Structure 1
């Protein structure tokens, strides 16, 4: 983010959204933000400084805060710190029943932490017992985190916790409306547009991950878009994704980085719905950028001798699992996947300019291992040994 913008008047909602965006990006991409820009209407963007609480950032959560500047509301004071922790949810039963939800994003839950007030009565936008985070501010906070999820490995279950360490003291100075809330301040503000995550932020994160391993002497890399199908991958290949380089939607950039850092072997594993796009030479697998799954499966159904009726049926499917189920029922799933894996092998070879030995394996939660390129087993031996040794170093 460009720090040259003049920092303008903020609301607690802006601060919370900025900190939430930074925390989400840190958690999902291991990228550190110093600034987040938000625009309201036709006004100039508001560039908000965000600060990492490094001791609270790990593989399960990330914690950032922003500082209020020039607030007007009676329960807000200059220089108040608005903190946000974004954390992975392992069990939905652990999420508070009073968490805010947004029907657009079923994977996100917004909670109030220390110093955030709790409503003592039902209002138009906040029910009794829910944290005092107003509707427009909630929407902006949800948007800030949801885009990071969209760009990563899909709809991870995440809890967003907003807090203000001085919230109780600030609220105590306000006498108006104390019977309506308790526990701290209200997070408020207008809805706005939070600037989209730039592709270079993500690709830089991929390059950093590869370089970090290379600096530890790694020559054999494990790469995955994310944790999706981790169990199926471990069950079939006996390899854990804990040390995998996360390529998110950019497997091509991971290949480039590994080649640039002198990598010798690469094992690329992940969900079929994402990595099947490699068969068409697509190296940005985000569905908003490219979604050729039906076309790829249709083409390879025809290549292996499928009928025109079968090809049309595949083109009419909505999901990859639906396509796979049909191919399975027709008895041609393995043939189609073999044809696809050949094209994936060709695409990865071209991208690596023949400088890298590689294996690619595709999985689904329903069908498990679906296909692998020819050299996958040989590459797996070297990658799994070195990645296991890496896991011991990182303990």
Structure 2
């Protein structure tokens, strides 16, 4: 659990309903998308004052695609929430657009986010400020700060899932009360890189202390079924290294892990062949350069390399390499270079490693040299963990 706010105030009476909902939304989104568990969240008011807001996790073991957090109001009287005891926010991944109702808030800047009101939030009985009747009573300032809080977590997750945000409010004394969410008056503190790295470090340390010495790690935040189907290794205990591959390697080697297997999205792992160890899209790309260089090194032509330079996605580049009949040779060359850079990152530490880039359509694209023992050790231990009661 990450506790925020050693030098901040904890006076939620100065906050708006929108600010409180945004805090709970940030906690829920961070838990769902980044696996970060907060005990409190900082909210920065318009006058620059940080306010520490405690949050509480509400478990939903039956639904892994949803997280719920709440803020307890106590006896605080907040505009629109008079008589309310708690404000709850659920953040849920939505699989189909048909699951999104029509009377739900959207914002052009965040095309994958949808905001609605749930239990205890009144609905508009007539159009107000351009919002039709039937929508949840959440004003524009509140909507803006809630959307911004969830978008911040998505930014670090480096994915674009469809997300439904639902704000609810309950009263201990009168369950029939209906409330509104109003005001923004500031913004939720941004997610920091340290928060994400702390979560990764905690996961590695927890595995080491439980006796695990052979870890499997996955970059990004996508689903793992296609990875498990291709490697036949259980992903139940994988380490999600997000885009911090270099830092995750450092942490695993430092605690004393013996074998480290990195598997997953080829679009992320190919960047390692350029020495890029932080694979966030905004940090560096390098995919075109890697594919172009290794096309030539694997026997392709300069003309083919130039064609790759004009393509935008990994899928397009792999399709071209497949069409030319040189995909396997290019990927073998790339994986050798990935091995060189990862070995350089680990340095003289004893931990052995292997990297396997995978594509959802093409399957396993290659692997770094001398990976056999690493796969065997990781596979045995992960299988034992998967059947352990």
TM-score normalised per structure 1: 0.87
Rounded to whole Å, the distance in 1 between the matches of 2:64 and 2:387 is 17
Rate the CA distance shift 1:17–1:72 in 2: closer, same or farther, 3 A: closer
* Equivalence map 1:134-283=2 (5 Å): 134-166=139-171, 169=174, 172=177, 184-190=178-184, 192-226=186-220, 228=222, 230-283=224-277
Asked if the contact 1:227–1:241 (Cα under 8 Å) also holds between the matched residues in 2, the reply is: no
Rate the CA distance shift 1:97–1:384 in 2: closer, same or farther, 3 A: farther
Rate the CA distance shift 1:259–1:322 in 2: closer, same or farther, 3 A: same
Rounded to whole Å, the distance in 2 between the matches of 1:121 and 1:79 is 24
**Other-structure match for 1:102:** 107
How many pairs were matched up? 381
Rounded to whole Å, the distance in 1 between the matches of 2:81 and 2:88 is 14
Rounded to whole Å, the distance in 2 between the matches of 1:108 and 1:87 is 10
Asked if the contact 2:159–2:221 (Cα under 8 Å) also holds between the matched residues in 1, the reply is: no
1:3 Cα offset (Å): 3.5
**Other-structure match for 1:180:** none
Rate the CA distance shift 1:240–1:287 in 2: closer, same or farther, 3 A: same
Asked if the contact 2:234–2:386 (Cα under 8 Å) also holds between the matched residues in 1, the reply is: no
**2:382 maps to which of 372, 384, 387:** 387
**Other-structure match for 2:301:** 307
**Other-structure match for 1:176:** none
1:214 Cα offset (Å): 1.3
Asked if the contact 2:41–2:55 (Cα under 8 Å) also holds between the matched residues in 1, the reply is: no
* Equivalence map 1:362-377=2 (5 Å): 362-377=357-372
* Equivalence map 1:107-146=2 (5 Å): 107-146=112-151
1:144 Cα offset (Å): 1.3
TM-score normalised per structure 2: 0.88
Rounded to whole Å, the distance in 1 between the matches of 2:290 and 2:328 is 15
Q: Which runs of 5+ in 1 are unaligned?
A: 173-183
**Other-structure match for 2:70:** 65
Rounded to whole Å, the distance in 2 between the matches of 1:55 and 1:249 is 27
**2:315 maps to which of 297, 317, 321:** 321
Task: State the Cα RMSD in Å.
Answer: 2.7
**Other-structure match for 2:334:** 340
Asked if the contact 2:220–2:268 (Cα under 8 Å) also holds between the matched residues in 1, the reply is: no
Deviations, residues 95-135 of structure 1 (Å, cap 9, x unaligned)? 44433233333433323221111223333343332222222
**Other-structure match for 1:178:** none
1:242 Cα offset (Å): 2.4
- Given the alignment of the two structures, is residue 50 of structure 1 paired with residue 59 of structure 2, yes or no? no
